[in-house]
Amino acid sequence: MVSRPKSPHFFLFVFVALAMLCSQLASARPAQAAAGISLAFFDPNSTGWFSVRNMTGADHQAFFDSTAAQGYIMIDAERHEIGDQLRHSSVWQRNTDGRGWASRSNLTSAEFSDYWDEYTKAGMRLIDQDTFEVDGELRYGGIWMENVENLGWFSYRNQTSAEFSEQFTAKSRDGFMLVDVEAYQIDGQQRYSQIWVENKNNLDWIERRDMTSQQYADYFDEYAARGMRVLDLESYRVGSQQRYAAIWVANTSGRGWYAYRDMTAQQYGNRWFELRDAGYRLTDFEIYETANGTRYAGVWRQNNARPNWGLKDGVNRLGEAYIANNDLAGLSIAVAQQGKFVYLRGFGHADIALNREFHSGTIARLASSSKAVAGVLALELEEKGLIDIDAQTRDYAPSLPNHHSHLVWHTIGNRSGVRHYGDDPDPTKNVATQYDTALEAAELFEDDPLNFVPGTGYGYSTHAYTMLGAAMEGAVGDPLATIVDEHLSDAYNIPTLQAEDRSQSNALRATLYKGTDSGPEPVVPDNISWKILGGGLEVSGADFARLGMKLMDGTILSEDSRERMWTPTTNASDFALGWNTGVDQGTQVVARVGAQTGGRSYIRMYPEHEIVIVILSNQRGHEPVDLGRAIGTLMLNEINSAANAETQQTIVAPPQPEEEVVEPAAEFGVPSLGVPLPSLLPPTATDDPTEPDGENAIGGQQPDPDPSPEIKLYLPLVRR
């Protein structure tokens, strides 16, 4: 009978928290996930992943079913009571070889033993244990995985300290490695659980338990200096004192890692997004009680090449200087090259009062960059045979007054003659009404005369894009917001690209600010539903960059449609169909900038090099074009330097064959809202540094295991 209990833990998947870190680490290399010793499976260079926390049982079950069906396996699970309700958190990664697995939770001790026997006989091994309280009663949970590698393993639970030490000595001597440890109370007595796995990789490892906060911090630094990383972290209460247990393992692969602890919910959320942007995935998650309330800990693992991008430090410096020089609330930068994100980062805050930090998933206003999206959408609908942009706008919106003789493409290319903003009073300024359709919104100005005969002049016009929206509605038969969803956002997995609707709350949406002498101050959002395609869309930085990536790789629009969209409509302007065009260092540039209340946006793309640069901010009064150009210059200089170096090498000596390196496509851990926790007081020092050290050992050589038949069995994905 074995199980892996954890101190009071519960599952929560929310975007929360950066943090009071009693310790942290950014080592240059890491080992494998806390689920066991199978480097190929648990420690891939890059893999898809998810994590969720503090979800209700029903919500987590739905998430469980959906995520398992998509081919993911749960590698860590936490349950914890918040108030009188059990909450669930979990960490998932791609089930790369489709192995069978099972998860059970909320079990009595006897029920856990029965499942342990059943799954062990079926050829599975335990990779995670969880122990938690429900209404004052101890409950158990576990994750079992098909033992494809045929590794020897043991697990124990409810052990005293003396029993733990006895097993520790025996198992480490016999060539097993401790991969999971839990500490908890039973009737006021300290108990522990363990999972041991055959150490076939002969990895050096260290375990310590019952450490004070300071002792953990000291060992953390010492072992990191020795090239070891945290594999598993546990925090628990012993009387009035906070204690820690941890397992360190040799960081053999050379990839980076981080471990943070003692974070509030908001601090953890901030850290989660920061490290996701930086290119790390969560591998171990802990939630526990302290004298100051609920706290969180996590271990992250490098998951792609972003941490090693050669221009990262340069872009960091540009972003840090830009937000400081402009005294901005928040900002995000997303950079992609040849179909991969090479840089994602947020600066400052999405909400200053709530300490929500800006990140690449923060949703901000697109302002006039919406016009670039409008050009994409119009040509997408044309390719689907739903609209002809060379037809008259009134062919699709016949209720418009007769003087609107412009063609559909005229409205996209600023050739329609439709007016822009006018002198006060202007009914399109300070609009309070929420418009359900673009055709309805067009009534605000449809009777105003055109500024010139359509097609004969050039005049920038946000209002013309409302006419474009009305034509799309007539052509497709749906409201414009629905058209954006169905033909761009949903069709191409760009979920945050939406028509802004402030009646619908969104935890990822940035608060809007204005600059003042005393710093950024919140502003009341204006209603922009009347100009969805001209300046009424919102999106995250990562998703806006995704749109650019999908344009350049041909996922969205054909080459002919892209060429038309990026060709200026008149020699008098560089403006094409929703985009500005130009040349930088001899290569084509397409771009769009936007500004409105509480928002500034910019997208800059170099199609020849498949480069996308996106900047979003929740404050007006600065020029993101300058920042985008500076980043573009860094990238073009690097490309040109590499080209020059290659030319010189070819002249001096014959070219050498290049090794083909294929990096797996990493997937983002896309958060799903759980239940936010109330703000908690910051932690205070309560540890007694005179407490004795926990035990430790370094695993050595292990004997060859007794052969046993490998059982190939798929069990249903289950959870209780």
pLDDT at residue 665 is higher than 50: no
**The CA-based dihedral angle spanning residues 218, 222, 225, 228, taken in that order and rounded to the nearest 10 degrees:** -100
* pLDDT band, very low/low/confident/very high, at 254 (cuts 50, 70, 90): confident
pLDDT at residue 194 is higher than 90: yes
pLDDT at residue 581 is higher than 50: yes
Angle at 244 between CA 18 and CA 112, to 5 degrees: 100
Mean pLDDT for the stretch of residues 295-302: 96
484, 497 in Cβ contact below 8 A?
yes
260, 21 in Cβ contact below 8 A?
yes
Contacts 24+ apart (CB under 8 A), 689-692: 689/212, 689/214, 689/215, 691/210, 691/212, 691/215, 691/241, 691/243, 692/210
77, 719 in Cβ contact below 8 A?
no
Lowest-pLDDT range, 139-143, 255-259, 527-531, 695-699? 695-699
Q: Would you state the pLDDT for residue 605?
A: 98
* pLDDT band, very low/low/confident/very high, at 41 (cuts 50, 70, 90): confident
Maximal CA-CA distance, the chain:
91
* CB neighbours of residue 240 within 10 Å: 8
pLDDT at residue 60 is higher than 60: yes
- State the Cα–Cα distance between residues 440 and 530, nearest whole angstrom: 8
What's phi and psi for 582, nearest 5 deg? 180, -165
Count how many residues are written for the chain: 720
Lowest-pLDDT range, 393-397, 436-440, 709-713? 709-713
Residue type, 695: E
DSSP state at residue 615: E
Which residues have a Cβ under 8 Å from the Cβ of 193 and sit 6 or more positions away? 2, 3, 4, 5, 129, 131, 155, 156, 157, 158, 159, 180, 181, 182, 184
Q: Would you state the pLDDT for residue 601?
A: 98
pLDDT at residue 679 is higher than 80: no
Helix and strand totals (H; E) in the chain: 17, 27
- State the Cα–Cα distance between residues 596 and 160, nearest whole angstrom: 63
Q: Give the Å distances, CA to CA, from 696 to 166, 172, 204, 613.
A: 13, 10, 12, 49
316, 333 in Cβ contact below 8 A?
no
Q: Give the Å distances, CA to CA, from 700 to 110, 697, 706.
A: 35, 9, 18
617 closest CA partner among 631, 604, 630, 598: 598
Q: Would you state the pLDDT for residue 720?
A: 25
Strands across the sheet containing 49-55: 49-55, 85-94, 72-82
- State the Cα–Cα distance between residues 11 and 88, nearest whole angstrom: 3
Q: Would you state the pLDDT for residue 704?
A: 26
Angle at 257 between CA 255 and CA 263, to 5 degrees: 170
The whole-chain average pLDDT of the chain stands at 85
619-662: per-residue pLDDT in tens?
999 999 999 999 999 999 999 988 777 544 433 333 332 222 22
Lowest-pLDDT range, 29-33, 109-113, 392-396? 29-33
Per DSSP, which regions of 455-576 are E strands? 498-499, 513-514, 521-522, 537-540
SS3 413: coil
SS3 606: strand
- State the Cα–Cα distance between residues 671 and 682, nearest whole angstrom: 25
- State the Cα–Cα distance between residues 196 and 175, nearest whole angstrom: 10
Mean pLDDT for the stretch of residues 129-150: 93
* pLDDT band, very low/low/confident/very high, at 11 (cuts 50, 70, 90): very low
Q: Enumerate the β-bridge partners of residue 485.
A: none
pLDDT at residue 480 is higher than 90: yes
How far from chain centre, in Å, is Cα 14? 11
Angle at 438 between CA 435 and CA 442, to 5 degrees: 95
* pLDDT band, very low/low/confident/very high, at 1 (cuts 50, 70, 90): very low
Which residues have a Cβ under 8 Å from the Cβ of 673 and sit 6 or more positions away? 13, 14, 15, 507
Q: Would you state the pLDDT for residue 21?
A: 25
502-514: per-residue pLDDT in tens?
999 999 999 999 9
* pLDDT band, very low/low/confident/very high, at 342 (cuts 50, 70, 90): very high
Residue type, 103: S
How far from chain centre, in Å, is Cα 431? 34
Residue type, 516: T
| Residue percentage of the chain with pLDDT more than 90 | 79
Domains of the chain plus CATH, in order, are 327-422+436-621 (3.40.710.10)
Q: Enumerate the β-bridge partners of residue 596.
A: 599
Q: Please name the residue that has the structure tokens 């079913």.
A: 65
Q: Would you state the pLDDT for residue 37?
A: 60
Q: Enumerate the β-bridge partners of residue 89.
A: 78
Angle at 284 between CA 283 and CA 289, to 5 degrees: 155
pLDDT at residue 478 is higher than 80: yes
Q: Please name the residue that has the structure tokens 């404050």.
A: 619
Higher pLDDT, 600 or 694: 600
- State the Cα–Cα distance between residues 311 and 306, nearest whole angstrom: 10
* CB neighbours of residue 138 within 10 Å: 17
What's phi and psi for 632, nearest 5 deg? -60, -40
Global pTM reads: 0.85
